[in-house]
A and B are shown apart, each in its own frame.
Chain A
Amino acid sequence: MAKRSVVPFGPQHPVLPEPIHLDLVLEDETVIDVVPSIGFVHRGLESLVKTKDYNEFEYVAERVCGICSFGHGNGYAEAVEKIMGIEVPRRAKYLRTIWLEMNRIHSHLLWCGLMADAFGFENLFYQCWRIREKILDMAELTTGGRVIYSTNMVGGVRRDITPEMGRAILSTLDFIEKELVPIRRTFLSDYSVQERTRGVGVLTKEQAHDLGCCGPFARASGINCDMRLLGYDAYGELEVEPITATEGDNYARCKVRLDELFQSISLLRQALEKIPEGDISVPVKGNPDGDAFVRLEQPRGEAVYYVEGVGDKFINRFRVRTPTFANLAGLCETIKGAKYADVPLLIVTIDPCISCTER
């Protein structure tokens, strides 16, 4: 038996700004065991909820994460609406869908950039973020914020998308689609990139299922799970086909996310075409009394929201099960048996969002 050594990874590491700590047990260059620990940015959201009005908490819930922000706000708003029995206008549902998909495009492009950065392809990294800037501009045009939209509220949305804004989004989508084609080609067929992605960190379908993985991470292992199929917001009226791959390695994860970018572009086009006229919000009266679960598909996977109200204006319980938390077990499984130099890359491939996970 070779000599074992324990190497700490994180909480600060150049590959990602988020504080995750891993104790890597190495045997020569191979990782044989890994012990994750999180808890560096815990903010106490579940206690904070008791001090905020339920309308006000919407803006706090949205700030759980800086990337998948709109989804968190949407999950909270939908849970409160479910408790109070509010039917949101159809136009508001379409607007939410549009913003969720814009959020997904910018999150996936961010991931592509981080992935390129992790395997040391700086130019590709900047190309991804150059395109991402366009979708951030569209977010600022339609909502007023670049990453935190703050347009959601209990009972609908606060801002409308005018036909001019719709046309601006469509022309931006054309630009993004055109620019994405060569980037996808580079990610999937470049010889040097494949050296870092093919066959690295394989997670089989059985392992992914047993460890309860979700999102693009699980879909890359062949599990057909996509919460958008539940038909929340306007997804029931749009064509959503989950994108899966079978290899379960880094290459498959790249492929799934890159193809999801094209899928999101198509969903945005469908939504902008089908969006009905009408009100964007309904007045809300009373206080939530009861509890509700809501599941939705974040860019990183399935997120679960639980809200419990006790009849006054303060929410009693609010809990978020974030996709990164579900994927951490899968991450540890992929790292076991990998080379030490591949560990940063493997951590990036689950698209970790530790701030979301710790709240």
Chain B
Amino acid sequence: MPKSRIMAFTWATVKNLFSKPVTSKYPAEPIAYPEGSRGHIEIDIDDCISCGICEKSCPPRAITVKKPPEGTWGIERMDCIACGYCVSVCPKKCLHMVEGYQTPGGEKIVDTFQRPHMGEEYIKAQEEKKKAALAAAAAKKAAAGNAGTAPAAGAAPAAKPAAAATTQKEQT
């Protein structure tokens, strides 16, 4: 059992008198964060494909992904728990956890990012794509029609008697 002593804490008092403060003057002196500090999420919006996996896997459901034509990626900064799970599930690796903590406040902050070439431009592009696809399909069909007229014509009459036979059976 240690002896009972008076003024066992004198060391700290003396040390405090002759030493600099341990705390830093934070807003004046910036803090050095270690590498890999989980501060907040950032997105390379150009690489985002709006797959929505991050939205489904986010534990507090802080992420909102709107599929094209809106094509936005939004995060509620106050809901985010900085776990980094979305970063690990992102298939395009366009989400990053970077240093710098969210500043406290009384209002909900929603940061929304817009993918490029969305909105009317996207709709137009989609329509053009559709048209191109239809045209390509028609061209293909026409090409196939020219090349395979003979087998198609041969197959049709062969099928017809069989169909006729079934209808006859049903009638009888």
Contacts and interface: CB of A to CB of B under 8 A. Distances in A.
Question: Is B one of A's binding partners?
Answer: yes
Interface of A: 52-53, 55-57, 59-60, 62-63, 121, 123-124, 127, 130, 133, 137, 140-141, 143-145, 148, 150, 158-159, 182, 185-186, 188-194
Contacts of A59: 59, 81, 83, 85
B83 A150 contact: yes
B34 A141 contact: yes
B22 interface: yes
Contact of A158 (B81, B82, B88): B88
B34 A191 contact: no
A158 B38 CA distance: 13
Given A123-B13, A144-B97, A186 B8 contact: yes
Contacts of A123: 9, 12-13, 16
A148 B84 CA distance: 12
Interface residues of B, number: 27
A188 B2 contact: yes
Contacts of B103: none
Closest 8 pairs (CB-CB, A-B): A144-B38, A59-B83, A190-B8, A189-B2, A141-B34, A150-B83, A144-B36, A186-B8
B4 interface: yes
A189 B5 contact: yes
Contacts of A150: 38, 82-84
A220 B82 CA distance: 38
Interface in B40-62: 57-59
Interface of B: 2-6, 8-9, 11-13, 16, 22, 33-34, 36-38, 57-59, 81-85, 88, 97
Given A124-B9, A144-B36, A185-B8, 4 more contacts: A63-B81, A123-B16, A140-B37, A145-B82
A234 to B, nearest CB: 23
Given A186-B8, A188-B2, A53 B57 contact: yes
Contact of B34 (A55, A60, A62, A140): A140
B36 A159 contact: yes
Given A56-B85, A59-B83, A144-B97, A190 B59 contact: no
Contacts of A182: 11-12
Nearest to A141: B34
A112 B142 CA distance: 84
A135 to B, nearest CB: 14
A145 B85 CA distance: 14
A59 B62 CA distance: 14
30 contacts: A52-B59, A55-B57, A55-B85, A56-B57, A56-B85, A57-B59, A59-B83, A60-B59, A121-B9, A124-B12, A130-B22, A133-B22, A140-B34, A143-B38, A144-B37, A144-B97, A145-B38, A148-B82, A148-B83, A150-B82, A158-B84, A159-B36, A182-B12, A186-B12, A189-B3, A189-B5, A190-B4, A190-B8, A191-B8, A193-B8
Task: Report which residue of A60, A190, A194 has the largest number of chain B beta carbons within 10 angstroms of its beta carbon.
Answer: A190
Contacts of A159: 36
B5 A190 contact: yes
A141 B97 CA distance: 14
Contacts of A55: 57, 85
Nearest to B16: A123
A124 B16 CA distance: 12
A192 B37 CA distance: 42
Contact of B9 (A133, A144, A190): A190
Contacts of B5: 189-191
Contacts of A137: 34
Contacts of B84: 144, 150, 158
